[in-house]
Homo-oligomer: A and B are copies of this chain.
Amino acid sequence: MSVSGIGVDLRCRCIETESRRMVKLIQSVEMFPPSAHCKDTEIIATLKRTGQKICLDPTAPWVKKVIQRILKNKRP
């Protein structure tokens, strides 16, 4: 769930991922592919209203579904 050092690309941004389904709270989603500094894809969602940033689990089915819905021009 925690986000550390956004903008700094020297280590992974996410310490842990949010396990709760927060589909309706998602305003936008940022995806970071694996890089020299972090071996796994990281997905960080910005929440509505609060603007809070949370890390999502790229392997969670609900997270994949959210991404696919956005790609299909639908709201999460």
* A31 surroundings in chain B (CB, below 8 A): 28-31, 67, 70-71
Interface size of A by Cβ–Cβ distance < 8 Å?
24
A41 proximal to B (CB < 8 A): yes
Q: Which A residues lie at the B interface, using CB under 8 A? A: 9, 26-35, 40-41, 58, 64, 67, 69-76
Is there contact, CB below 8 Å, between B34 and A28? Answer: no
A75 to B33, CA, bound (A): 5
A15–B58 CA distance with the chains assembled, in angstroms: 29
Assuming the contacts A58-B71, A58-B73, A67-B71, asked whether A33 and B41 have C-beta atoms less than 8 A apart, the reply is no
Interface centre among A26, A29, A33, A76 (most CB of B within 10 A): A33
